[in-house]
Every structure is written in structure tokens, then in C-alpha cells.
Amino acid sequence: MASEWLELTRLTQGSSLTVERVRLAGKEIAIEGSFDLPPLARLTQEDQIFVTAFIRCHGSIKEMEGLFGISYPTVKNRLNRIAGQLEFVEINPPPTALDLLGRLEKGEIDVDETLRKLGRKP
């Protein structure tokens, strides 16, 4: 499957791509709609290979230097460029006002804590 994504990335040459049908392998189930590719699948083939190598090297820039025959600053610059194309995913995003009001309504937190978390110190 990874090779198909790489080929698809090569064919699209960085153009935007929307998937309209997904079928579960070995099943008679298909989902139709409009789906964006995951962020990593939107990278160029070369950048996908670079990211894969970085993960396989357990994040060792020194190993990446040897593997690709490039300098430390070149590895860092390329990683920074790739990172700039990816959205950061927060593991524990701050609660929304709606979340906090729901917790207040359930009695899980009081008014003072709600205001503090909203940035409005009582």
C-alpha cells in the first residue's frame, strides 16, 4: 500500500488530491464522500522517504547524515521544511468554553475554576 501512495504522490506532483471512494480490502464495504489525504501522504515522495528514514533511524540526525550523505544543517533544514508542511496535533488540547460550561453544569468544577480556565481570573 505504501508504494501505491508513493506512486500516487509522484503522479500528482504536489497537486491537491481528494479521495472520493474508499473500499475496505477483502470486504464488500465502500464509503463514498470527499476525503482529504492524511498530512504525511500529501508530502512529496522524496519527503515521505526522508521522514520514513528518520523514523527508522529513531530520530538520529547523525544516522541520517550517513544514510543520505548530507550535513547536520542540511538534515535539520529539511526536517524543518517538512515540519512546516504538517499541522501540529495537540495530544491534550485546552478545553473549549463549551467543554468548561458543560463541566460547570455537571458540578465537576466551580465558577472560579471555570473563569480561571477561560483566562478570566475571578
pLDDT digits (tens, 9 = 90+) for 35-78: 888 888 888 889 999 999 999 999 999 999 999 999 999 999 99
Question: What's the domain range around 33?
Answer: 2-83
The grid cell for 34 is: 470527499
Same domain, 41 and 78: yes
| Same domain for 71 and 28 | yes
Per-residue pLDDT at 122 exceeds 80: no
Report the distance separating Cα 110 and Cα 46, nearest Å. Answer: 52
| pLDDT tens-digit series, residues 102-119 | 999 999 999 999 988 888
Q: Is 49 in the same domain as 69?
A: yes
Pair (13, 71) in one structural domain: yes
- In the three-class reduction of DSSP (H, G, I as helix; E, B as strand; rest coil), residue 30 is classed as strand
- Asked if the model's pLDDT at residue 13 lies above 80, the reply is no
Q: Give me the number of domains the chain comprises.
A: 2
Query: Is 75 within a domain?
Result: yes
Within 30-71, residue ranges assigned H as helices are 45-56, 61-68
Residue 23 corresponds to which cell in the numbers above? 473500499
Would you place residue 14 in the very low, low, confident or very high pLDDT band (cuts 50, 70, 90)?
Answer: low
Residues 12 and 67 in one domain: yes
Nearest C-alpha neighbor of 67 from the set 86, 81, 54, 83: 54
Same-domain status, 108 and 76? no
